[in-house]
Chain A
Amino acid sequence: MFISETIQYAISGITSGSIYAIVGICWSTVFLISGVLNFSTGEFVMLGGMLTWLFISWGFSLLPAIFFGVACTVIVAMLMERIVIRPVRYPSETTFLLITTAAGSVIRGIVLIACGSDTRHIEPFLGSSPIMIGDAVLLPQVIIVVSVLVLIAGGLVMFLDHTLFGKALRASSINQVGARLIGIKINRVRLFCFGLAGGMGAIAGIVIAPIEFTGYSVGLMEGLKGLVVALLGGWTIRGTVVAGLALGLLEGLGAGFISTGWKDALALFVMLTFLIIRTLDLTSIKKLVYRHE
Chain B
Amino acid sequence: MNDRSFKTEISIAGFAVIIVLLPLIVKGNYFVSVMNLVAIYAVLAMGMGLLMGQAGLISLAHPAWFGLGAYISGILAARGILPAWATPFVSAVGVGIVAYVVGAPVLRLRSYYLACATLALLLITQIAAGQLSDLTGGHEGLLGIPVLTVFGFEFKKDLHFYYLSWALCLICYWFLANLLNSQVGRAIRSFNSSEIASASMGIDIAKYKRHAFVLTAIMAGLAGSVFCFYIRLAIPSSFEFPLLVTLMMMVVIGGIQDLHGALIGSLAVIWLGEFLRNYMKNFFTSMTSEVEAVFFGIIIIVVLIFMPDGLTGWINRIPSWGKRLYERKQTSNQ
Which residues of A are at the interface with B, using a C-beta cutoff of 8 A?
37, 84, 87-90, 93-95, 97-99, 101-106, 108-110, 112-113, 117, 216, 220, 224, 227, 231, 259, 261-262, 264-265, 268-269, 271-272, 275-276, 279
Contacts and interface: CB of A to CB of B under 8 A. Distances in A.
A88 B304 contact: yes
Interface in B139-159: none
Contacts of B290: 105, 108-109, 112, 216
Interface stretch (B3-11, B17-25, B120-128): B120-128
Contacts of B186: none
A106 B298 contact: yes
Contact of B300 (A94, A98, A220, A276): A98
Contacts of B284: 113
B117 A275 contact: yes
Contacts of B108: 276, 279
B80 interface: no
Nearest to A98: B248
A271 B308 CA distance: 31
Given A108-B290, A112-B291, A224-B120, 9 more contacts: A94-B256, A102-B298, A102-B300, A105-B290, A106-B294, A106-B298, A264-B123, A271-B116, A272-B117
A261 B130 contact: yes
20 contacts: A90-B308, A94-B52, A94-B58, A95-B304, A98-B304, A99-B300, A102-B296, A102-B298, A105-B242, A105-B297, A109-B291, A117-B286, A220-B241, A262-B127, A265-B123, A268-B120, A269-B124, A272-B120, A275-B116, A276-B105
B301 interface: yes
B294 A101 contact: no
B297 A106 contact: yes
Q: Is the interface of A mostly helix, strand, loop or mixed?
A: helix
A132 B289 CA distance: 45
Contacts of B92: none
B127 A265 contact: yes
Interface of B is mostly: helix
Contacts of B130: 261
Contact of B301 (A84, A89, A108, A259): A84
B127 A227 contact: no
B112 interface: yes
Contacts of A105: 241-242, 245, 290, 293-294, 296-297
A37 B241 CA distance: 18
B123 A224 contact: yes
A102 B116 contact: no
A264 B106 contact: no
A268 B124 contact: yes
Contact of B119 (A94, A224, A259, A265): A224
Given A105-B293, A224-B119, A98 B113 contact: no
Contacts of B296: 102, 105
Contacts of B293: 105-106, 108-109
A271 B119 CA distance: 11
Contacts of A87: 305
Interface string B249-282: 1001000100000000000000000000000000
A103 B301 contact: yes
A191 to B, nearest CB: 17
Interface string B297-311: 110110011001000
A102 B111 contact: no
B197 interface: no
Contacts of B111: 93
B178 interface: no
A88 B105 contact: no
A224 to B, nearest CB: 7
B109 interface: yes
Contacts of B117: 271-272, 275-276
Given A109-B290, A109-B297, A97 B105 contact: no
Contacts of B294: 105-106, 109-110, 113
